[in-house]
Structure 1
Amino acid sequence: MLGAKKTAAKSGLNGFAIGQEVIIRTYSAGVWFGRLKEKAGDEIILTEARRMWRWWAKESISLSGVALYGIKQEDSRIAGAVDSVWLQAIEIIPISGKAAESIRTAQEANQDE
Structure 2
Amino acid sequence: MKNIDDLTIGEAKQLAAMFGSQKSSGGLKGMIGEKVIIRTYSAGVWFGTLTQKAGNEVIIKDARRMWRWCAKKSISLSAVALYGVQQEKSKIAPALPSVWLEAIEIIPCSADAIESIQGCPDVEAE
TM range (shorter): 0.7 to 0.9
Task: Give TM-score scaled by structure 2 length.
Answer: 0.78
1:20 to 31, 34, 44: 34
Q: Name the structure, 1 or 2, with higher relative contact order (CA <8 Å, separation 6+).
A: 1
Alignment of 1:14-93 (within 5 A): 14-93=28-107
Match of 2:109 among 77, 95, 101: 95
**C-alpha RMSD over aligned residues:** 1.5
Which digits, 9 at most, give the CA deviation of each residue in 1:65-111, with x for residues without a partner?
Answer: 00111000000000000000000000000003111110011000011
Do the aligned partners of 2:83 and 2:110 also contact (CA within 8 Å) in 1?
no
Q: Report the counterpart of residue 107 of structure 1 in structure 2.
A: 121
Deviation larger for 37-46 or 12-21: 12-21
Give the helix-richer structure, 1 or 2.
2
- AA matched with 1:30: G
Bigger Cα Rg: 2
> Where does the alignment leave 5 or more consecutive residues of structure 1 unmatched?
1-7
Contact 1:42 1:88 in 2 (8 A): yes
Helix, strand or coil at the partner of 1:15: helix
TM-score, with structure 1 as normaliser: 0.86
The aligned amino acid for 1:32 is W
> Which sections of structure 2, spanning at least 5 residues, go unmatched?
1-21
2-structure distance, mates of 1:20, 1:62: 20
